[in-house]
Amino acid sequence: MKRIGMLTSGGDCQALNAAMRGVVKSLTNAQEDVEIYGFLEGYKGLIYGNFRMLTAKDFSGILTKGGTILGSSRTPFKLMRTPDENGLDKVEAMKQNYYKLKLDCLVILGGNGTHKTANLLREEGLNIVTLPKTIDNDLWGTDMTFGFQSAVNIATDAIDCIHTTAASHGRVFIVEVMGHKVGWLTLNAGMAGGADIILIPEIPYDIDSVIKKIDERNQNGSRFTILAVAEGAISKEDAKLSKKDYKKKMENYPYPSVSYEVAAKIREKGDYDVRVTVPGHTQRGGSPCPYDRVFASRLGSEAGKLILNGEYGFMVGIKNREIIKVPLEDVAGKLKMVSPDASIVQEAKMLGICFGD
């Protein structure tokens, strides 16, 4: 008998269900005596013992379904060692619920913060296997995270749609793309959507360089310009500030987001008609694309294999198109950033895309 706990933590994304389905199908196809305990709303379910028994039928028909059938929530890693409002020790509570159910393993699907807590539980002696979920594609140790390609598709569609209205009115359009502190999503969607300017957190921008690119396009007869701007994009001036000074500045930030600041500066210095579009959470919603369905299923299958072999303490990832296992301690707390010298950035510049540097 194998008793497996499972939870999805952090922001939702496409293919969470597909990944869980992969785990369960690989286990149940290998042996009949498997019990699945699904913890509801992420780590909150594990802390407070909120779970439900699941059968193979619960994972039937969910390959194409977005979101997560277990629900999710954000439980910040930095607060895990802080007792809740009733004085409950969260880490101890999670351990006790794990042992109470006599689990052989806990399968955790999540992003960067989720993996920090997963590694903490590993250090506390629990058997853990994780799967890399995030539209940001910022988890260290894997070339790809599931949800990323689906989000790229949606963000690209948004840029595609903006092209026609931007061309019709001769406007400058900014499409703000998600991605938290990294630029993978904006970079890929920007290139796929034919953006003229791409601003990402790893390459602080100079607004004068941005306006220069817009001016050049106008002089060459292009009536419009498309900017793909990452939600974490930052100017060169702000990048020079200390964390303390930057935080203080953001406390009195007059704009809804960085895209509106860029738009205001372009209007002020370039006298252009600028519009901002924010696709927002549509980028993490809807059905997973075919790539993510296959990828998440492969990850889930490999996770099932690790559990059957009693190999714990790993994240399942992908390197050079092959599924791999990565020690959790090597993953936790590390971000996979876009290097300004990366070949994809240099190739984009060869195409004439401006990064504002």
User: Which residues does the annotation mark as catalytic?
Assistant: 136
Specify whether the CB–CB gap between 171 and 324 falls below 8 A. no
How far apart, in Å, are the Cα atoms of 49 and each of 3, 57, 86, 106, 109? 15, 23, 15, 14, 18
Nearest to 15 by CA among 121, 149, 108: 149
Specify whether the CB–CB gap between 205 and 356 falls below 8 A. yes
Residues 6+ apart with CB under 8 A from 262: 174, 199, 205, 207, 210, 227, 229, 233
What is the arrangement of strands in the sheet containing 322-327, beginning at the earlier edge strand? 51-54, 34-39, 2-8, 105-110, 128-132, 314-319, 322-327
Query: How far is the C-alpha of 259 from the C-alpha of 316, rounded, in Å?
Result: 35
Query: How far is the C-alpha of 111 from the C-alpha of 77, rounded, in Å?
Result: 12
The token pair at 263 is: 């738009």
Burial class (CB in 10 A: 0-12, 13-18, 19+), 95: middle
The token pair at 55 is: 């059968």
Tokens 């996979």 sit at which residue? 336
What 249-253 contacts at long range (C-beta under 8 Å, 24+ apart), as own/partner pairs, is none
The backbone torsions φ and ψ at residue 325, rounded to the nearest 5 degrees and listed phi first, read -120, 135
Residues 6+ apart with CB under 8 A from 311: 129, 325
